[in-house]
Amino acid sequence: MPSLNELAAKPYDANNRYSDVVHFVHIMIMEPHPQSPDLSPYSGQVWEARYSMVHQPQTYDERVAIAQEIEPLIEGNQLLLIDDLTPGALNNPVWCTYGTSPNSAFLIRQDGIVDTVQLWFDAPGMEEAIKNLLK
C-alpha cells in the first residue's frame, strides 16, 4: 500500500494530485498468504510469508473485519471495496473476473475499457499510463 499511497498523493499538475484526477480503488480479495493451517489459493498449500497475519476468511463478515483493520493504512482520497464472499453466491467475482493476482493493478477508462493491466503493481509504470491516458 505505501507505493499506491505515494502515487495517489503525488502532484499530477500544479493544482491536482493523482487522486484528484483518477479514482484509486483497492479491492479486498482472497488472502494470498494466510496463516497456517489455511491454504494459499495460489499454491494449494500452506504458504506463509512474514506478513501472514490473518486466516483465510470463510465469510463476507470475516473479510469485512480484515478490511476494517487495513483501511487506516490507505491514505488520502482512495476507496476500499470488498469482493463478495456470500454462501450460495458467486464468490470472489472480482478476483475471478480480473485475474487471480494478489497485487494486480488496472487503469480503467471512464467508458469502462481497460486501458492498462499490471499483473504486479508498478507505480512508475502506472504513473506513465495515467499520464498517457489523460493527454
Q: Which of 47, 124, 58, 127 is nearest to 86 (CA)?
A: 58
Where along the chain do its domains lie? Answer: 2-133
Average pLDDT, the chain: 94
- Tell me the pLDDT tens digit for each residue of 46-89: 999 998 999 999 999 999 999 999 999 999 999 999 999 988 77
**pTM of the full structure:** 0.89
Report long-range pairs for 1-6 (Cβ below 8 Å, ≥24 apart): 1/26, 1/70, 1/73, 1/74, 3/121, 3/123, 4/78, 4/121, 4/123, 5/73, 5/74, 5/75, 5/76, 5/78, 6/123
The band of 1, judged by pLDDT with boundaries at 50, 70 and 90, is confident
